[in-house]
Amino acid sequence: MTLRYRFRSIRAAIAAAVLIGMPIPGSLNALAQDAPTAEAPMTPPADSAAQSPQAALIQKGQYLVAAGDCVSCHTRPGGEPFAGGLPLKTPFGTIYSANITPDADTGIGGWSEAQLARAMHEGIDDQGHHLYPAFPYTAYTKVTDEDVQAIYAYLKSVAPVSYAPPKNEMSFPFNQRGLMAIWNRLFLKDARYQPDSSKSAEWNRGAYLVEGLGHCGACHTPRNQLGGERASLALTGGVYQDDVIDAVHEQDVVREDEGMVRPWAAVDLTPSPRGLGAWSTDDIAAYLKTGHNIRAGAFGPMAEVVANSTSHLTDADTRAMAVYLKSLTPAAQEIAKSVTPDQMRQGEIAFTVRCGDCHLPTGLGSPRTADADPTKVSPPLVGNAIIQAPDPASLINIILYGAHETTLNDKSWPKMPGFELDFGLGMDDDQISYLADYVRNSWGNQGGAVDPKDVARQR
Ligand code: HEC
Ligand code: HEC
Ligand code: HEC
């Protein structure tokens, strides 16, 4: 397997360093994560019979490391893969990812397999110190010992790199790693994935990958005020900070500045009308494999997840993940603030002028057919999860900065230009909010009214 990686400059974090020292609400049980029940075989991808057992183990480990997307966080821009040093910005300070190459002094060369297992399962390093949950051990805790063994074998096989990441810059009290023990009592369910024997092997494989190595919930599950994932709302959509990369302007390096982080809504992945309800199992599998399908294209942080992780998985595994996602209970979401007829009227005008040419007045988009105008080919907006997300952050990012999927093959969507930079048509915050209101409430779509202030914070 050859890996072509794609890197962003800064990933702003998620759970990070959460909330120690804040009042701890209610019962621990209410906050603890749900655990699935029973027991399952995790099969590695088929590999050639000629290999030595160690080579086969390393190859299996390479595959699992791709499934876990370790490289995205453990590689700084311009640095060697896995050597660490990527800054993860959190509200409590900056955490730098560790060097996980087998260098004895600066990496994990001195670590035993048991120590790696403890880090992944319990969030504790070789010295017994707590790691911050910006490292998604709350998901990796589900990874079987057998798979950790393969991951260990692979990480030991990569070239050692001598590089010490900068020291974390965390403010007091978040610089006290010991406080993570309290956080872990609330949010870490230290247990390997337990297969559900009432479900198929494919479903269990999908659940294992989505919940475990894939750590999809790190972005797609909403968090409580302590930064813990809300188990009862698992995969119903989360909001967090991440880069905006304006790929259309890559050439003239507009907006490529490091640290251009903006809120992103990682959409509802349940089969609700506002989530992936309109997507078939094949649609989901195709998106994970290639970054696009007939309905959508990965254009934001998800493009990196696809490029570095899910596109390297076998068709059987991306399909298994799709089967699992399709089986989730559809999320019920309330519309916070409804849209007025005047907002709809203003939004319709803006849509007709700026969007309707490609996405059509019906919102059905212009499919890639033999006789289609290639400059207008575009996905449907009807039933779209980005548009209907409770938080409009990703929709606003598209309108301002465009949509640019990483081109993994020639069936990808063309790039959609951003309106902030390209057209300079002078849409102010109010107009953009009306436009968003209109697409969120046309053609059967349902979404709450967008506050112009939400647009302002994303400029
Ligand atoms: C979302 C980002 C992210 C992903 C994905 C990620 N890590 Fe990390 N990892 C981090 C950060 C940040 C740290 C440093 C945490 C700290 O300082 O407390 C870290 C620390 C570690 C450590 C501790 C190293 C040390 O010297 O203390 C190990 C081991 C590790 N990661 C392994 C992995 C493996 C294996 C994977 C893939 C299966 C992975 N990580 C995926 C962000 C990530
Ligand atoms: C020049 C043609 C064109 C115009 C004009 C255009 N779009 Fe797009 N749009 C596209 C293409 C192509 C994509 C797919 C790009 C990708 O995913 O990388 C897309 C993707 C999208 C998506 C994301 C779909 C998904 O889930 O992946 C949304 C939402 C969207 N457009 C909304 C709008 C809005 C709102 C406007 C008007 C402000 C607009 N578009 C104007 C071509 C266009
Ligand atoms: C680093 C955060 C992050 C992780 C991890 C992540 N996602 Fe996403 N995902 C996003 C964001 C943000 C979007 C919105 C669109 C984009 O970025 O292109 C998204 C979009 C999607 C979409 C497309 C929705 C649409 O309507 O266009 C699917 C499907 C998806 N993610 C599935 C997954 C799965 C399955 C996993 C786990 C393997 C996963 N994601 C992991 C952040 C993430």
Residues with CB under 6 A from ligand 1: 65, 68-70, 72-74, 88, 95, 97-98, 100, 108, 116, 119, 125, 131-132, 134-136, 140, 151, 168
Q: Is the distance from the beta carbon of residue 398 to the nearest atom of ligand 2 less than 6 Å?
A: yes
Share the mean pLDDT of the chain.
85
Q: Range with the lowest mean pLDDT among 35-39, 159-163, 408-412?
A: 35-39
Q: Are 88 and 73 in contact (CB under 8 A)?
A: yes
Contact between 383 and 445 (Cβ < 8 Å): yes
Asked if residues 286 and 292 have their Cβ atoms less than 8 Å apart, the reply is yes
Min mean pLDDT across 191-195, 243-247, 369-373 is at 243-247
Confidence at 23, pLDDT banded by 50, 70, 90:
very low
Q: Whose CA is nearest to atom 38 of ligand 1?
A: 68
Tell me what pLDDT residue 421 has: 54
pLDDT at 435: 96
Higher pLDDT, 173 or 82: 82
pLDDT, tens only, 345-357: 999 999 999 999 9
pLDDT-derived band at 118 (thresholds 50, 70, 90) equals very high
266: CA distance to ligand 3 center in Å?
6
Residue 36 has pLDDT above 70, yes or no: no
Residue holding tokens 């621990």? 28
Distance CA 333, CA 233 (A): 10
Q: Kindly tell me if the per-residue pLDDT of 408 is higher than 80.
A: no
Q: Give the nearest ligand 3 atom to 309 CA.
A: 38
Does residue 226's CB lie within 6 angstroms of at least one atom of ligand 2?
no
pLDDT, one tens digit per residue, over 131-184 is 999 999 999 999 999 999 999 999 999 999 999 999 999 888 888 999 999 999
Question: Which stretch of 5-19, 64-78, 386-400 has the lowest confidence by average pLDDT?
Answer: 5-19
Torsion of CA 56, 59, 60, 61, to 10 degrees: 120
List b or e across 126-163, with b for residues whose CB sees 16 or more CB atoms inside 10 angstroms.
eeeebbbbbbbbbbbbbbbeebbbbbbbbbbebebbeb
Nearest residue by C-alpha to atom 40 in ligand 3? 216
Residue nearest to atom 34 of ligand 2 (CA): 355
Q: Which two tokens stand for residue 291?
A: 């970054």
Predicted pLDDT of residue 204: 98
| Choice from 6, 279, 304, 359 to test ligand 2 binding pocket (greatest atom count within 8 A of CB) | 359
Instruction: Give the distance between the most distant pair of CA atoms in the chain.
Output: 70
Ligand 3 centre distance from Cα of residue 15 (Å): 16
Band of pLDDT at residue 316, cut at 50, 70 and 90: very high
Q: Provide the pLDDT for residue 400.
A: 87
User: How would residue 427 be classed by pLDDT, with cut points 50, 70 and 90?
Assistant: confident
| Cis preceding linkage at 367, omega within 30 | no
Rounded to the nearest angstrom, the distance between the alpha carbon of 303 and the centre of ligand 3 is 8
| CA 118/CA 223 separation, integer angstroms | 24
- Residue 405 has a pLDDT of 67
Q: Work out the average pLDDT over 109-132.
A: 98
- What percentage of the chain carries pLDDT values higher than 90? 67
Average pLDDT over residues 226-230: 87
Closest CA to 120 of 143, 97, 98, 102: 143
What distance in Å separates the CA atoms of residue 265 and residue 220, rounded to the nearest whole number?
Answer: 8
pLDDT given for residue 409 in this prediction: 66
d(CA 174, CA 91): 10
What is the structure's pLDDT at 407? 57
State the CB neighbour count (10 A cutoff) for residue 367: 11
What pLDDT, on the 0 to 100 scale, is given for residue 420?
64
- Report residue 25's pLDDT band, with 50, 70 and 90 as the boundaries: very low
> pLDDT at position 243, please?
80
Which residues contact residue 102 at a Cβ distance below 8 angstroms, ignoring those fewer than 6 apart?
108, 109, 155, 156, 157, 158, 160
- Non-local CB neighbours of 31 within 8 Å, separated by 6+ positions: 25, 186, 187, 224, 226, 228, 231
pLDDT one-digit tens code per residue, 39-49: 333 445 555 55
